[in-house]
Amino acid sequence: MSADVFWAIFNLDNLTVIFVCTLYGTFVGAIPGLTATMAVALLVPFTFYMDPIPAISAIVATTTTAIFAGDISGTLLRIPGTPASAAYVDDAYSLSKRGQAKTSLFVSLTTASIGGVVGVAILMLMAPQLARVAISFSSYESFWLASLGLTCAVLTGQGTVPKSFASLFIGLAIASVGIDIAVGYPRFTYGVPDLLGGISFIPAMIGIFAFSEVLRTVQSNLDSSTASDLIKEKVSDASSRMIKALSRYRRTIARSSVLGTLIGALPGAGADIAAWIAYAVARRFSKEPDQFGKGNLEGVAAGGAANNAAIAGAWTPALVFGIPGDSVTAIAIGVLLLKGLTPGPRIFIDQPELINTLFGSFFLANIIMLPMGFLAITLSTYILRIPRTIMAPIILLFSLVGAYAISSSVVAIWIVLALGIVGYLMEQNEIPLAPAILGIVLGRIIEDNFMVSMIKAQGNLLMFFERQYSLVLGVITLLLWCFLLTRMVVEISSGRRQKKK
């Protein structure tokens, strides 16, 4: 690590940002219903005023801690703070009812930190190698790669195939607003000058994640619960149980960390899917599978390690190909683009210091998370007492002012409202959000590469398969489309069979 990179990571601004965002992430993640993605979406207006390195550090620190903090309300109230904690919530809550809430939280905190560090180590090893291959990509490969990313988002989306595809097309339709690149024709702008550059990314993310969350919060049962009786375990007892658990389940933690990183690297498959799969795999290999769901620390360790490792994994496709691995990296790509940085293989050659600083910040965030996490666990009963009736209007106002701050235009507020309602209706109808987000981020990239390729190929679609890598990527994408079509037919026919019964 060069001295420049070292000072970029350890300078006061960056350290302050990481410290503050670790606290912020812990606070938001611990409150049930507020997701890590929402925390990042609300943070984006602030990153607008930062240099690229602190901006990315802020996103990384917030995400890693918010995902861990989701375990706090899951353990104490059986309400996962973020969806990534849902896989092992029954184990964590059962442990807490047995008086071992701190043990469970200490295990999930340390495994989250281990998972995060393993994830960054894999990211550091894999990303530069992949970037070397990706540097030779033309518009054909870029088109197929982005299409593959969107297809993976549909494949791993937590909805039926038609609904996941519908989400994707909603995202692509939103991305097509604004001046087109081929002839500069304004599309769907209806005379509003603020829409000429397209739907502004920050208000869109704030609307889809923060505003829709506020709508859901004000509709839910707003009675606040307290968990003060559940966290009376002594710190010394919890620490010794944690150390025993870490030693006993070291293989599970290692396997879940690697698995989480690999799953996180798949576009659309975020920390929650990684946690579910790692939990299922841990149960499959466990000596006591029947104890899973009834308060098994192995399940907590597996899910806790995997969901944080997935956060680092998601950065691999984002940095190397400019294709986000999850909603958070989709937002991060948007932030980098706003700062004039285009993620992709060239960033490894043109700005290696940025990449190395990013890796360093990742490590640092995962390490600072340990003391912050211990603090959050100690203060958790107080955090959980803050009623959501107070949080919802405050989050709403932060969302509106944050969106307005980017362009000093009320159009941003209208975008928050419109896309917030769209996001809310999508979730109400079980249409997953991830493919739409990827569609919004990748829509322009796909269209640009598609139009450039079509003009180069003079409309000959076979040219999309002429180059070696484009052939491989194209065939994989088409095979996945065939698989998705088959899955869709099975889904519809199984619905019909149910009706006959």
Sequence-separated (6 or more) residues with CB below 8 Å from residue 416: 203, 206, 207, 210, 211, 399, 400, 403
Shortest reach from residue 266's CB to other proteins, in Å: 22
Binding site for other proteins (CB under 8 A): 46, 49, 160, 162-163, 165-166, 168-170, 172-173, 176, 180, 182-183, 185, 187-188, 211, 214-215, 218-222, 389-390, 392-394, 396-398, 400-401, 404-405, 408, 410, 413-414, 416-417, 420-421, 428-429, 431, 443, 446-447, 450-451, 454-455, 459, 488, 491-492, 495-496, 498-499
Strand partners, 187: 178
Strand partners, 186: 179
CB-wise, 287 or 499, nearer to other proteins? 499
Q: 84: which DSSP letter? A: G
Tokens 């307005």 — which residue?
Answer: 404
Q: Helices 101-134 and 89-97, interaxial angle, to 10°?
A: 160
Q: Alpha-carbon distance 28 to 233, whole Å?
A: 24
Shortest reach from residue 317's CB to other proteins, in Å: 22
Token representation of residue 50: 């930062």
Shortest reach from residue 399's CB to other proteins, in Å: 9
CB-wise, 96 or 477, nearer to other proteins? 477
Q: Among 64, 80, 101, 78, which Cα is nearest to 31's?
A: 80
Residue type, 400: L
- Dihedral sign computed on CA atoms, order 58, 64, 69, 70: positive
Shortest reach from residue 208's CB to other proteins, in Å: 14
CB-wise, 374 or 414, nearer to other proteins? 414
Q: Alpha-carbon distance 446 to 138, whole Å?
A: 12
Q: Alpha-carbon distance 233 to 237, whole Å?
A: 7
Shortest reach from residue 466's CB to other proteins, in Å: 20
Shortest reach from residue 220's CB to other proteins, in Å: 8
Tokens 């702008």 — which residue?
Answer: 189
Q: Alpha-carbon distance 295 to 387, whole Å?
A: 28
Shortest reach from residue 163's CB to other proteins, in Å: 6
Shortest reach from residue 224's CB to other proteins, in Å: 12
CB-wise, 172 or 208, nearer to other proteins? 172
Q: Alpha-carbon distance 274 to 289, whole Å?
A: 19
Shortest reach from residue 54's CB to other proteins, in Å: 14
Shortest reach from residue 437's CB to other proteins, in Å: 15
Q: Which backbone phi and psi does 438 adopt, to 5 degrees?
A: -65, -35
Q: Helices 434-456 and 161-175, interaxial angle, to 10°?
A: 60
- Residue 50, SS3? coil
Sequence-separated (6 or more) residues with CB below 8 Å from residue 321: 130, 134, 145, 146, 149, 343, 344, 345
Cβ–Cβ < 8 Å for 297, 106: no
CB-wise, 99 or 162, nearer to other proteins? 162
Shortest reach from residue 215's CB to other proteins, in Å: 6
CB-wise, 278 or 392, nearer to other proteins? 392
CB-wise, 119 or 198, nearer to other proteins? 198
CB-wise, 231 or 440, nearer to other proteins? 440
Q: What is the DSSP string of 291-353?
A: GTTSS-HHHHHHHHHHHHHHHHHHHHHHHHHS--SSHHHHHHHHHHHHTT---SHHHHHH-HH
Furthest C-alpha separation in the chain: 72
Cβ–Cβ < 8 Å for 391, 34: yes
Residue type, 377: I
CB-wise, 31 or 275, nearer to other proteins? 31
CB-wise, 476 or 488, nearer to other proteins? 488
Cβ–Cβ < 8 Å for 345, 468: no
CB-wise, 207 or 295, nearer to other proteins? 207
Shortest reach from residue 408's CB to other proteins, in Å: 6
Q: Provide the pairing of β-strand 186-187 with 178-179.
A: antiparallel
CB-wise, 425 or 472, nearer to other proteins? 425
